[in-house]
Amino acid sequence: MAEQSHIVLTGAAGFIGSCMAAALNAAGMNQLILVDDFGVEAKRNNWEGKSFATLVERQSLETWLSETNLAIGGIIHLGARTDTTEFDYAVHEALNVEYSKMLWRYAATQQIPFVYASSAATYGAGECGYSDGHEWPQQLKPLNPYGVSKNEFDKWALQQTDAPPAWAGLKFFNVYGPNEGHKGRMASVVWHGFQQIKATGEVKLFKSHRPDFKDGEQLRDFIYVKDLVKVIDFLYQKMVQHDWRAEQNGLYNLGTGVARSFHDLTVATFKGMDLLPQIRFIDMPIDIRDTYQYFTQADMHKLRTVAGYTAAFYSLEEGIDDYVRHYLVPGQII
């Protein structure tokens, strides 16, 4: 990548975006165009202190791109409306589909790399499994408008003949880690568990409303944000260094490939605080009961073999211990 090239990073004040900015800074990349809604006070600590070239408000980005004289070397698009309890599809369509199309077209016109966040929410209840093969998006049935919007953009991207020279859509599974506190209800179960333990000494987990799963044994593919941004950086660097072939373009799962239970996660959170587990099971809220995923597990074969990512992932216990001891307990951000 040329020395003067800049990286456009959307969602930069959010959870994953701010961790991505920190990782890029740590790798010596400071020519960042940070894009987000910077008026959200709860996110301020996520981006203040990062090294960057400029800040651009989300709604101004299209105009800014058309007018800037800066050399843009690539786009890492992590900004999205991620609230799975927002049922107005128009909100998701505007921010997750149309906005993403605008950035895709810019990357295609400028012939620069484009890496974007998709989601495991595209897989719905998992009727079709969790393969990131390109034959599947047309058949998937997401359970909420957020998942629908992510799948709609994936389908659109796969159909484009006018595309960035190097691109990847990453289907994030259940991500946890520093800088997520502003997400409130949508923050990870690790974050919520830690807050509950501090306040009451116990963690409430959802009961199972299916006979084939015991309470707390619902399974997810949990990935530590440090691994997630490491993968994004790996892919992006291959693209800008022209070590990426056209046949590698496409969708990739981004989880660990290992499903673990919420019970295991909660025990690890208590252990990170040097406490014995105290768990109480509660009824799942009615508004999410019919659309709740009981099992997710990323098929990671494609990232390993096609993209060539070989590094090991944090285990659930390793990731939670690092997050709890080094960030949640001392109240640190990165």
Query: Looking at the domain assignment, is residue 1 inside a domain?
Result: no
- Regarding whether 282 and 266 lie in a shared domain, the answer is yes
- Regarding whether 203 and 149 lie in a shared domain, the answer is no
Name the helix (H) or strand (E) containing 11. Answer: none
Cβ neighbourhood burial of 322 (10 Å; 0-12, 13-18, 19+): middle
pTM of the model: 0.95
Task: Domain count for the chain, please give it.
Answer: 2
- Regarding whether 188 and 133 lie in a shared domain, the answer is no
Q: Residue 56: which CATH number? A: 3.40.50.720
In tens, the pLDDT along 112-158 reads 999 999 999 999 989 999 999 999 999 999 989 999 999 999 999 99
Tell the residue number behind the tokens 């007018």, with chain if given.
67
Query: Looking at the domain assignment, is residue 333 inside a domain?
Result: no
CB of 161 closer than 8 Å to CB of 2: no
Residue 54 has phi, psi (to 5 degrees) of -165, 160
- Regarding whether 136 and 90 lie in a shared domain, the answer is yes
- Regarding whether 85 and 165 lie in a shared domain, the answer is yes
**Residues noted as catalytic:** 146, 183
Give the other-Cβ count within 10 Å of 52's Cβ: 19
In tens, the pLDDT along 152-184 reads 999 999 999 999 999 999 999 999 999 999 999
- Regarding whether 188 and 63 lie in a shared domain, the answer is no
Q: Residue 287: which CATH number? A: 3.90.25.10
- Regarding whether 252 and 134 lie in a shared domain, the answer is yes
- Regarding whether 235 and 153 lie in a shared domain, the answer is yes
Structural domain that includes position 288: 184-219+258-294+322-328
In tens, the pLDDT along 2-60 reads 455 999 999 999 999 999 999 999 999 999 999 999 999 999 999 999 999 999 999 99
Query: Looking at the domain assignment, is residue 201 inside a domain?
Result: yes
The sign of the dihedral angle between the CA atoms of 118, 120, 125, 127 is positive
pLDDT of residue 4: 59
Looking at the DSSP bridge assignments, the partners of residue 174 are 222
Q: 254-292 burial, b if ≥16 CB within 10 A, otherwise e?
A: bbbbebbbbbbbbbbbbbbbeeeeebeeeebeeeeeebe
| DSSP H helices in 111-224 | 145-159, 189-200
